[in-house]
Every structure is written in structure tokens, then in C-alpha cells.
Amino acid sequence: MIGPMARVFVTRLLPGDAVDRLGAAGHEAEVWEGPMPPTRKQLEAGVARSEGLLCLLTDRIDAQLLDAAPRLRAVANMAVGTDNIDLGECSRRGIAVGNTPGVLTEATADLTFALILAAARRLLEAADAVRAGEWRTWGPADWLGVDVHGATLGIIGLGKIGRAVLRRSEGFGMRVIHHNRRSGLSLDTVLAESDFVSIHCPLTEETRGLIGERELGLMKPTAILVNTARGEIVDTGALTRALVEGRLGGAALDVTDPEPLSADDPLLRVPNVTVLPHIGSASKATRESMADLAVDNLLAALAGRPMPHQVAP
């Protein structure tokens, strides 16, 4: 069991009072307060004397980092996914790893449907035109989008978030089809029949690059691809080419590969693309709940108990 006083490195400023709870429990919390995530060297320095680490998806937790952290006993990832963490290496070293499931489901599903609507009705393009002074009169052929009501929605990955998106689609009278690892239609069928394809599967070696040149070629030329899962699931270059060449109707992305995209990335110059800065869980209540769950995981592990949401060992 780790002693009552432990040092915890927190890689970003967090909303709410979650970090204060570490201090109230007798632990010392060092919070990285820079506007950008810590560099690799700064992250290594932060964990060098720490028993606990509260990190984000932007922080790569691998064998090299763990070598620099001989006292580390607990890692709390403020995310549902853990693809930034080498779980096997943590397990081998007896380091507990926890995540923050459940609390971001509804917020991410809300954003997913906002992206579907924004892309279908070309909201960002129309709003930009107003700001640029290009709206001079009402025209019957201006800013024509596509209907969401009655359209076919294809969901890839029918976990908690996928099911929450499905529930929202019912209010729009959508036909929903899905592909999951163990159920539903084949991926090719879902891609070929859908007017909107929404990605909600986790990033694994199996799903990395799942949507590439061939898969995009199966989609309707009017279809819209929505991704609020992980950017690496979609081949960015293939997506850009499909949009530029008119083989796909549009894309709405909260996640990209790489992340963030550089300002001169060709994908950002395509008019029928909406790209957001990974804000799927960005409601005040949701982010505060995520921070609280991460601290709950740390407090348990630092007291020698299993984490409430432990994924490794």
C-alpha cells in the first residue's frame, strides 16, 4: 500500500474542484499550467518523482516514460479511450490504470448529431457567408443541403455512444443500420446504403485505418461521413481526395489524424468539411465529471484499493 502522502502530476489545468480533492486527501498535486500540453521532456520530469499521474489523450504513456517514473503506481486517464497508454507495459510493472467511462456518452452523442445537422444543412458555410457580407438577398437555390429526416444513418460501433446517437435519430425518423464487431450488417453494406455514416468504434489495431480509399469508394457520392471517435480510424489523405474529386458529399469531424491539423492542411480547404477541435465531451458538467472520475481512480489506487474504473492490470 502506498503511504498517505503521495505526489501526483496532472498534465493540464482541469475544470471544477477535482484537483483540490487530491490536496484534501493529503496528496501533493503538481499541475502543468501551460497553454499547450507538456513536451515529452517536461512530462518525463513531471512523473520522475510522482506516485500518481492524471493524464489526457495527448499524453503518450509508454515504456520509455515509465522508465523515467520509478515511483509511479497509478495512472488516471481523463478519457474513455486508453489508446495513448501501453496497458500491457503498465500491467507488467504493476501500475494501475483507470479511465472515465459513461459520463461523456450523452455530450458526445449531442455533438455527433450537431455535426450531422451542420453538415447536412451547410450551416458553417452559410454562417461564414453572412459574416463575409455575401448574403445580399434570399435565393431559392442558395445553400441547398440535404434532408436528415427520413435519411439512412449508418453507425459503425454500437457501444454506449453509438446507441445514444441511435436514440437521437429516432426523433428525425431516420432508418438506422449498424456495423459492430459482433453484430449488425457488414461494414461494406453499411457504407453502401447510408446517407450519413457515423463512427463510434474504439481505436485498436483492427480499426486503425478502417475507413480508407476502398471503403470511401463504397459510399454514396452524396453521403456525409461523421467522426467523433478517433482520427486514426479514417485515412485523412483518402478522405481529402474523395471530397476534392466529388466522390463524397461531405465530412464532419471532431477528431482528425494528425491532431491538430496544420492550418495549411488541404482538408481544411475543402468547402464541404466541418472540422472541430475535439470538443465531443466539452460541456462544463461533463468535463467536471470526467475530472472527478479521474481523481476517484487516483485516490483509490493511492490508498491501495482497486480503482472504480480500472482497465489494467
Tell the burial category of 195 from Cβ atoms under 10 Å away from its Cβ (0-12, 13-18, 19+). buried
Domains 7-103+284-312 and 105-275 are alike in CATH topology? yes
Confidence of residue 42 (pLDDT cuts 50, 70, 90): very high
Q: pLDDT at residue 3 above 90? A: no
Q: Is 230 a catalytic residue?
A: yes
Confidence of residue 4 (pLDDT cuts 50, 70, 90): low
Residue ranges covered by each domain of the chain: 7-103+284-312, 105-275
Q: pLDDT at residue 137 above 50? A: yes
What pLDDT score does 2 carry? 43
The CATH number of domain 105-275 is 3.40.50.720: yes
What pLDDT score does 284 carry? 97
Instruction: Find, among 198, 196, 236, the residue nearest to 219 by Cα.
Output: 196
Q: Which of 30, 89, 213, 259 is catalytic?
A: 259
What pLDDT score does 146 carry? 97
What pLDDT score does 1 carry? 40
What pLDDT score does 94 carry? 97
For 7, the enclosing helix (H) or strand (E) is: strand 7-10
Confidence of residue 95 (pLDDT cuts 50, 70, 90): very high
Cell of 77: 486517464
Mean pLDDT of 146-167: 98
Q: Is 106 a catalytic residue?
A: no
Look at residue 216 and give its three-state secondary structure: helix
Q: pLDDT at residue 20 above 70? A: yes
CATH architecture group of domain 7-103+284-312: 3-Layer(aba) Sandwich (3.40)
| pLDDT digit string, tens, across residues 244-266 | 999 999 999 999 999 999 999 99
Cβ contacts of 146 within 8 Å, gap of 6 or more:
120, 121, 195, 222, 224, 249
What pLDDT score does 39 carry? 97
Distance CA 91, CA 291 (A): 23
| pLDDT digit string, tens, across residues 82-93 | 999 999 999 999
Cβ contacts of 118 within 8 Å, gap of 6 or more:
124, 252, 274
Q: pLDDT at residue 140 above 50? A: yes
Distance CA 38, CA 31 (A): 10
Predicted TM-score of the model (pTM): 0.92
Q: Is 259 a catalytic residue?
A: yes
Q: Could you give the angle at which helices 105-120 and 123-131 cross, rounded to 10 degrees?
A: 70
Look at residue 301 and give its three-state secondary structure: helix
Cβ contacts of 202 within 8 Å, gap of 6 or more:
81, 83, 157, 159, 229, 230
Q: pLDDT at residue 144 above 70? A: yes
Q: Which of 7, 179, 200, 230 is catalytic?
A: 230
| pLDDT digit string, tens, across residues 159-178 | 999 999 999 999 999 999 99
Confidence of residue 78 (pLDDT cuts 50, 70, 90): very high
Q: Which of 12, 278, 287, 309 is catalytic?
A: 278
